[in-house]
Structure 1
């Protein structure tokens, strides 16, 4: 199961530990203010034509004038405040600037061979400066400050777009992305599923951890979708999935669902995540009982699981779904749909 973000907060157990944490942050802040520029040649691999300088605390983009045939530039986890010095890298195909210190997309105009771009964990507010990058296949903007999906329609070859953990309120401006296969929009502020009708080749859609209450009909055109992730929303009714006949993975965990309605057409379903909902009885599972392909089902922390004797719960579920190879977090013996009593 895809887990794009893990956020952990650790508290100081005593005063000394608290002082250590404060000292660490003070040192990191000082590192940002000191100038430190790396020598590109020290990180260059001739065979792969790659510069890989992860976490070197460089405060500026290095001089790359001696590496005109560079294919891959990896400068993630540094303190670079501005994208510069790249105009001569016309053969560059892979650019990774994940977790730096810039807030504006610029300096990429000449990188017309670029196919892979990661600008995640920066202060970017607006998607811009990509007009000439028509060869882009994968594009990542995780955990920025983006409020609007825009200026992407010309990226005709793009197959993956990652916009998780931003400030997006509306799914829009995706027309023209006919080859898009993966769209990741988890952890935003989206209220409605919309603006997806033209994405007929989409295979994976993630809208986890948003503000969606009703599924509606916004998915009806995604006839090639195989994986759908909608956990941690406020959905109370399953609807609008009838046309998704190729779906193999459906994640509806941590919603407010009471019944498994409108799933009868999903005859290829292999994984169903319905944990942390309001399924109260075994009878509520009948709509997917005849799904012969179902291998994994998660029902943890539903009333049907919490209010049942554990042995009876397992036995009943496995009688309903004899093809299961996993129930909740428990893998079942290979080739068997039963748990030994």
Structure 2
């Protein structure tokens, strides 16, 4: 039994006091095959059915006219199982719909949800972004990670989008992002992308391209709002295009092919720097290369580089960075 999983003997909560208005019902991990034994008060605004055995929707959900958040995460829903949602007009005010970790093969038609802010279909078996065009243009967070999608498309109308998660798919090209002018977080790790193309976007604060096929760092130069940049597990051989990223706080270029530290001396806000598992030979001139962030840097990973074999490795780094709190796995009080 997984930690936190409720036993079959445990009954879902019931509302015995008629005077109490129930607005949220959490049925996480009850291993329910259906909701026959569950009362669904008409006052519900949140219904969480995460980690059950559901494959069909209870018709009574369609009567919850005040529902704002619905989570069907980690169940057994396939396309036909969630299809009734597309016709339940009483739920048109839904703001958050979570279908993560099911058996969906397609993006469901959620066009009736005109106030949807959060939509999550990650960890399914979806092979195409077809259907995303029907999402309401008020959407702020879209999660489609861990599927089989090969192309970024049908998202041009999502002008209010702030978070886009497309990690662990089969994407090869960064495209069709131009109109996402409010996008602040873009997660594209574990794809097959070779070239950075942010399509002119300059407002992104968090960007992940971990575990792709990048060989250079060009393409970030105009992203002056960037605060966190994750590029580990690629084939990058040179640090470049970073000097203008004056707001950068976290930089992860671990597990690449770097032989030196470059182009970050002007970054005065850098707090976390991950350079482990590269080919950096020496700590010589380190102080100069990181001059802008010497006082600010608190976390540094350099292990599994030739320079980490130096007997004075830790002492040298602590001398360079007076406020360092962690070097590799070693934490300082």
| TM-score (structure 1 length as normaliser) | 0.82
In structure 2, what is the equivalent of residue 204 of structure 1?
A: 206
Q: How does 1:186-205 map to 2 (within 5 A)?
A: 186-194=189-197, 196-205=198-207
Whole-Å separation in 2 of the counterparts to 1:214 and 1:185: 16
After superposing the two structures, state which structure 1 stretch, 38-47 or 97-106, moved more: 38-47
Whole-Å separation in 1 of the counterparts to 2:216 and 2:146: 25
In structure 1, what is the equivalent of residue 237 of structure 2?
A: 236
Whole-Å separation in 1 of the counterparts to 2:41 and 2:292: 55
In structure 2, what is the equivalent of residue 52 of structure 1?
A: 48
* 1:132/1:228 CA distance change after superposition, 3 Å: closer
Q: How does 1:225-264 map to 2 (within 5 A)?
A: 225-264=226-265
Q: Is the 8 A contact 1:260 1:284 kept in 2?
A: no
Describe the SS at the equivalent of 1:42.
coil
In structure 2, what is the equivalent of residue 77 of structure 1?
A: 74
Whole-Å separation in 2 of the counterparts to 1:46 and 1:37: 22
Q: State the 1:43 CA deviation.
A: 6.7
* 1:44/1:225 CA distance change after superposition, 3 Å: farther
* 1:113/1:172 CA distance change after superposition, 3 Å: same
The answer on 1:321 being equivalent to 2:321 is yes
Q: How does 1:1-341 map to 2 (within 5 A)?
A: 38-39=34-35, 42=38, 44=40, 49-63=45-59, 64-82=61-79, 83-86=82-85, 87=87, 88=89, 89-130=91-132, 131-194=134-197, 196-216=198-218, 218-283=219-284, 285=286, 286-291=288-293, 292-305=295-308, 307-309=309-311, 312-333=312-333
Q: Deviations over 1:97-148 (max 9, x none)?
A: 1111111112311011110111001111111323341111111011000101
* 1:75/1:129 CA distance change after superposition, 3 Å: same
Whole-Å separation in 2 of the counterparts to 1:189 and 1:183: 15
Give the paired residue count: 293
* 1:284/1:103 CA distance change after superposition, 3 Å: farther
* 1:41/1:182 CA distance change after superposition, 3 Å: farther
Q: State the 1:47 CA deviation.
A: 5.9
Describe the SS at the equivalent of 1:117.
strand
Whole-Å separation in 2 of the counterparts to 1:45 and 1:264: 59
In structure 2, what is the equivalent of residue 18 of structure 1?
A: none
Structure 2, unaligned runs of 5 or more: 1-31
Whole-Å separation in 2 of the counterparts to 1:293 and 1:46: 53
Q: State the 1:165 CA deviation.
A: 0.5
Describe the SS at the equivalent of 1:297.
strand
Q: Is the 8 A contact 1:78 1:100 kept in 2?
A: yes
Whole-Å separation in 2 of the counterparts to 1:181 and 1:140: 14
Whole-Å separation in 2 of the counterparts to 1:70 and 1:141: 23
| TM-score (structure 2 length as normaliser) | 0.84
Describe the SS at the equivalent of 2:284.
helix
Q: Is the 8 A contact 2:42 2:64 kept in 1?
A: no
After superposing the two structures, state which structure 1 stretch, 78-87 or 199-208, moved more: 78-87
In structure 2, what is the equivalent of residue 337 of structure 1?
A: none
Q: Deviations over 1:183-228 (max 9, x none)?
A: 000011111111x143211100000011111112x11111100100
* 1:40/1:112 CA distance change after superposition, 3 Å: farther
